[in-house]
Amino acid sequence: MPFDPTDAQDVYKDAGKNVLFTTLTINKSNPDEDREKVAELVSREQAILRSMNIRYPEEHLKVSFGFANSAWDYLFADYKKPQELEDFQPVKGPKYTSPATPADLFIHIRANSEAVVYEVASQIRNYYRDFTTVQDETKGFRYFEGRAIIGFVDGTENPEVQKASAYAIIGDEDPDFENGSYAFAQKYIHNMDAWNALKTEDQEKAIGRKKYSDLELEDDEKLENAHNVASQDNDDGIEHKIVRMNVPFSNPSEGTTGTYFIGYARHWSVTKRMLENMFGQSDRLLDFSDPVTGNMFFIPSLTTLDQIVEDKLPAK
């Protein structure tokens, strides 16, 4: 099958206004039975998505559904596996560590209306609640002007929309899983009191951009470990990109505020190098941001989802 963005799940479009991330582990009682339940979940999820988009087209509902390596090995041991799918291992730097936390399944829902997000999540839950355990559920939102909760415009380093699919969607390098994607999800808790205590100029040096205009600073104005320096992947002298759809989340009365990082990539190796650079160089933003979850997922194409439903994945 040729490279076809229309066969991909929603991994290269806008981040949405109201967002829900859910990670699940499978209780793993019987792989054959659980595979049948996952096939029904996939089928129902796609039907729910189609129905809601017909009923509420103005809400721009988008859903991505994926599998961690642990789930793929358990459910589909007799079938081929995406080339770069692996267990996420903690990334250890001199000061901070990117943790690996339990997850088998990943659901990313976003829409203009929170009511639509709720309804979709509630309906999908009917098909996973009897064989999974929820590990994390995080509700995100669009902040002013699409800014991160720390006040800077987010997603500036993303590729242009017209080119985004080429960075987010697997091509003919893995023909059995073409039009899929690799997602990395990580939840950060920010020390907002410490961050807000910084002068604006010091925040800008830490991020590498102007806070209000979003213009990039000159290299000699940035810290050596500024976020937009440390989080890049310039392997072989080429800047490699992923598609980020980060959103803020918060329980304000508890003083808990953070960012849910979600990056979709054609190559997991690109995201992995970004993490290694970020933690290896002790990205200045990590002084104010504590990573509390972390896992990577394969996001199948619509064709592969159909193969899962029909039990027709390519055999080893």
Q: Which of 154, 174, 233, 283 is labelled catalytic? A: 154
227 and 206 Cβ atoms separated by less than 8 Å: yes
Which tokens go with 281? 């160089």
Q: Is 78 a catalytic residue?
A: no
Dist. CA 25–CA 153, nearest whole Å: 33
Take residue 307 and report the two structure tokens written for it.
């193969």
Contact 184, 100 (CB under 8 A): no
Instruction: Return the structure tokens found at 67.
Output: 């599998």
Euclidean distance between the first and final Cα of the chain, in Å? 18
Phi, psi of 290 (to 5 degrees): -105, 115
Structure tokens at 228: 């937009």
Strand partners, 136: 23
Instruction: Tell me how far apart the alpha carbons of residues 139 and 55 are, in angstroms, rounded to a whole number.
Output: 23
Q: Are 301 and 180 in contact (CB under 8 A)?
A: yes
Just list the catalytic residues.
154
